[in-house]
């Protein structure tokens, strides 16, 4: 018998709408699952039991009254700790913000609530979401359900761990350097980093504004166990919000190429570093799945790939260096050690150098945009190595950036990028990325769904202890 906490968000919504099960039953099943597995995983930092049960009762009453239903009516939702949820602290994983209660929801939370979703918990992230390993000064270490000795990824590691273990069917994270996709590959779930401007972003209080890279590169987006739920989440979240001056009302469907099938460029061992051959084999298997699904698979990669990596690093590195006097005093020793090692690896920029970074970014966006005229998607590993042991990143900051190099183009260039599981190596999930032209989010999800159909993992799992 399939338990309620094992069902997808779409399945739960259909069951509730069809009165096969009540929202109260669904919420209670997930609360019981949280009580069972969260003490080991430490993925959820705050359980919203009373609020969720009240929301479920209201959802059931609304259904009984015949009121219109949203696409996620009565379905549990988890929200990353650095996204505003009214009445809760947006603590960013640090003690200094433990009482930073937001009076309002972020636009993405507003939209999920409007679709009927019910927040059930907050999920862990590293200090200020500036590490790809989820271990926060305020909430501690989040474990990977597949192997408790390996990272759950970051910075949305709590979200991915909760999804993979059945504590939540759908959640919200964000991404400036792979933070939706890094934990998805580590924990064997799915996610989408949407096109820049597709999903509005706004933070109440001192985090509302930031330097240029923190205005132009981060996005918020959906995470789930299946691509169908990620797609549903995108449809709920997309659209302009006046609080985000970069958000746009872009169509959800992008035009198909004329006279040819969709073309995918495969980089099984991408430039800029080494790739575990077993990870490369997972990418090749995904390429075969896409070829079988009718895609035209090629090996002609996008232009200036390695220059994208160095430009992303220089852009965000200089802005983090600018913010360091404000954030380092409130971060843990480990978080500062990782951040310090990263900054040591990138040269400081003067005004002319920073201007050149922005000019190079524009040039790269143009070149990739022109390249996408003939090719629709890029298939790469998400990480080029397996999830690392806890703390490995502290002594290997440069190698950490190298293994996650495939996530960076989407952030620097504003592109959509979907992560989907494509295999298991040494008992650990391996995800691949489908990255597309700007506002071709639908094409990335379509291709990810084809990979999932051939190679997808069965989740949620019982956490390995």
State the catalytic residue, choosing from 156, 161, 165, 179.
179
Helices (H), 8-77: 9-17, 23-41, 49-65
Q: Give CA–CA dist 251/38, Å, rounded.
A: 39
| Length reported for the chain | 465
| Nearest CA among 420, 422, 380 for reference residue 404 | 380
Q: Give CA–CA dist 280/136, Å, rounded.
A: 32
Distances (CA, A) of 383 to 231, 330, 400: 22, 29, 9
- From the number of C-beta atoms within 10 Å of its C-beta (0-12, 13-18, 19+), residue 204 rates as middle
Q: Give CA–CA dist 290/353, Å, rounded.
A: 41
State the catalytic residue, choosing from 8, 10, 23, 80.
80
What secondary structure letter does DSSP report for 382? S
| Nearest CA among 430, 434, 431, 429 for reference residue 446 | 434
Q: Give CA–CA dist 128/126, Å, rounded.
A: 6
Looking from the CA of 114 toward its CB, the CA atoms found within 13 Å total 12
What secondary structure letter does DSSP report for 207? G
Q: Token digits for 26?
A: 């669904």
DSSP bridge pairs for 140: 136
For residue 165, indicate whether it is catalytic. Answer: no
Residues 6+ apart with CB under 8 A from 390: 133, 135, 141, 149, 150, 151
For residue 80, indicate whether it is catalytic. Answer: yes
**27 touches 76 (CB < 8 A):** yes
Rounded (10°) angle between helices 441-455 and 277-292:
100
**What is the residue whose two structure tokens read 């806890």?**
390
State the catalytic residue, choosing from 102, 155, 165, 191.
155
> What is the DSSP secondary-structure string of 175-187?
ESSSTTTHHHHHH
Q: Give CA–CA dist 396/91, Å, rounded.
A: 27
Catalytic amino acids?
Answer: 80, 155, 179
């Amino acid at each position: 018998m399939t338990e309620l906490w094992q069902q997808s968000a779409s399945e739960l919504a259909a069951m509730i709408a069809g009165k096969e099960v009540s929202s109260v039953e669904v919420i209670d099943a997930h609360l019981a699952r949280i009580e069972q597995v969260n003490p080991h995983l430490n993925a959820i930092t705050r359980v919203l039991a009373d609020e969720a049960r009240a929301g479920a009762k209201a959802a059931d009453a609304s259904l009984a009254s015949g009121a219109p239903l949203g696409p996620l009516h009565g379905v549990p939702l988890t929200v990353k700790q650095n996204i505003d949820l009214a009445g809760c602290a947006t603590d960013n994983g640090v003690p200094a913000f433990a009482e930073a209660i937001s009076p309002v929801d972020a636009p993405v939370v507003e939209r999920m609530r409007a679709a009927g979703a019910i927040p059930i918990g907050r999920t862990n992230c590293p200090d200020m979401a500036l590490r790809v390993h989820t271990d926060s000064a305020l909430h501690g270490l989040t474990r990977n359900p597949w192997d408790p000795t390996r990272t759950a990824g970051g910075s949305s590691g709590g979200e991915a761990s909760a999804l993979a273990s059945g504590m939540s069917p759908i959640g919200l994270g964000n991404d400036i350097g792979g933070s939706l996709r890094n934990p998805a590959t580590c924990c064997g779930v799915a996610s989408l980093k949407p096109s820049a401007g597709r999903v509005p972003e706004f933070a109440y209080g001192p985090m509302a504004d930031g330097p240029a890279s923190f205005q132009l590169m981060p996005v918020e987006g959906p995470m789930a166990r299946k691509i169908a739920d990620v797609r549903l989440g995108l449809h709920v979240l997309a659209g302009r919000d006046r609080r985000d001056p970069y958000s746009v009302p872009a169509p959800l469907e992008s035009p198909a190429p004329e006279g040819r099938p969709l073309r995918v460029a495969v980089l099984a061992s991408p430039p800029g570093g080494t790739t575990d051959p077993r990870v490369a084999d997972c990418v090749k298997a995904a390429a075969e799945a896409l070829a079988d699904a009718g895609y035209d698979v090629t090996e002609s990669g996008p232009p200036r790939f390695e220059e994208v990596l160095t430009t992303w690093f220089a852009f965000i590195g200089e802005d983090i260096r600018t913010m360091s006097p404000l954030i380092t005093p409130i971060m843990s020793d480990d978080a500062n050690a990782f951040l310090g090692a990263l900054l040591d690896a990138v040269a400081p920029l003067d005004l002319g150098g920073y201007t050149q970074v922005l000019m190079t970014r524009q040039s790269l966006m143009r070149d990739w945009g022109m390249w996408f005229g003939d090719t629709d998607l890029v298939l790469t590993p998400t990480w080029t190595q397996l999830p690392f042991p806890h703390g490995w990143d502290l002594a290997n900051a440069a190698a950490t950036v190298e293994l996650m190099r495939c996530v960076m183009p989407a952030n620097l260039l504003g592109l959509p990028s979907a992560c989907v599981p494509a295999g298991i190596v040494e008992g650990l999930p391996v995800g691949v990325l489908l990255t597309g032209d700007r506002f071709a989010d639908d094409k990335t999800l379509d291709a990810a769904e084809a990979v999932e159909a051939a190679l997808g993992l069965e989740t949620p799992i019982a956490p390995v202890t």
